Amino acid sequence: MKKRFLISFVLGCLCSLTTFAQTSFSVTVTGKGKPILFFPGFGCTGTLWDDTVKTLSNHYECHVFTFAGFGKVPAIPMPWLETIKTDVLAYVQQNNLSRPLLVGHSLGGTLSLALAAAEPTRFEKAILIDALPCTAALMIPNYKGERLSYDNPQSLQMLQMSTTAFEAMNAQTAAFMCRNPEKQKEITAMLNQSDRKTYVYGYIDMLNWDLREEIAKIKIPVVILAATLPSLDVVKKTYSEQFRNLPTVTIHYAENAAHFVMYDQPEWYMKQLQSAL
């Protein structure tokens, strides 16, 4: 009877772990030491962090995430972002990760803020690469926190867009967000792999996250490595406004860098990241 119970228990655990691994993200773990959770930006995969992990994995245990609907990770139902947040907290607990560091680019940085606000003592530090608590406020004039619906003409148009048009749009996006021509190709390839519904509806999930008030709950240090293009003055004003409820945030500005700071200023980025860690 005891043996049967043990077998059932083990099988149950394996099934549980398999289910968890196939839900809202996949994770690749490299190296040993203090754990770091690496979150990519919207549409990107964990390969965004390849160069970073090569440098850091000798001293850190690097947990590199790819979110559902991107790369080869199967899509999940909406709401997508809240599920990811819940599952990351469960992942940290299930793997007994002691106060891991958070490193996130863009959406991954916003997720880091959400996690740090939700669990003020769970993490040690958050390092954001060009990320904000409210992306919608950057894109929508006079944004006051209004929630956007999945069903709107623009979403329908993007869902019906041809593959050729979709890939052309992604190439244009990559060229705007990164100055490095070779890395632009990599970004475009990652975006092209996206599940279309996740690309459309997941982006709305991201826009509907307004953490400008929520960040006041954060107790850990937050460091930002910010892009300066197209204008340093505009960037400084944006960060000042969005982080007014977290006055202890430390911001370092990367000269001549667009959104993908790690690609545009790799040496500066790595030096600043290691210093922050």
Number of domains in the chain: 1
In a domain, 116, yes or no: yes
In a domain, 10, yes or no: no
In a domain, 3, yes or no: no
In a domain, 231, yes or no: yes
Taking residue 244's Cβ as centre, other Cβ atoms within 10 Å add up to 13
Q: 2-21 and 80-94 helices cross at what angle (nearest 10)?
A: 140
In a domain, 2, yes or no: no
pLDDT at 21: 46
Segments of the chain with pLDDT less than 70 = 1-22
Question: Residue 271: which domain range?
Answer: 26-276
- Check which CATH number belongs to the domain holding 216 and give it: 3.40.50.1820
Please write the tens of the pLDDT for every residue from 14-37: 333 333 444 899 999 999 999 999
Rounded CA-CA distance 264/267 in Å is 9
In a domain, 168, yes or no: yes
In a domain, 271, yes or no: yes
Phi-psi region of 35 (alpha: psi -120 to 50; beta: other; left: phi over 0): beta
pLDDT at 105: 98
In a domain, 130, yes or no: yes
Please write the tens of the pLDDT for every residue from 190-248: 999 999 999 999 999 999 999 999 999 999 999 999 999 999 999 999 999 999 999 99
pTM: 0.91
pLDDT at 118: 97
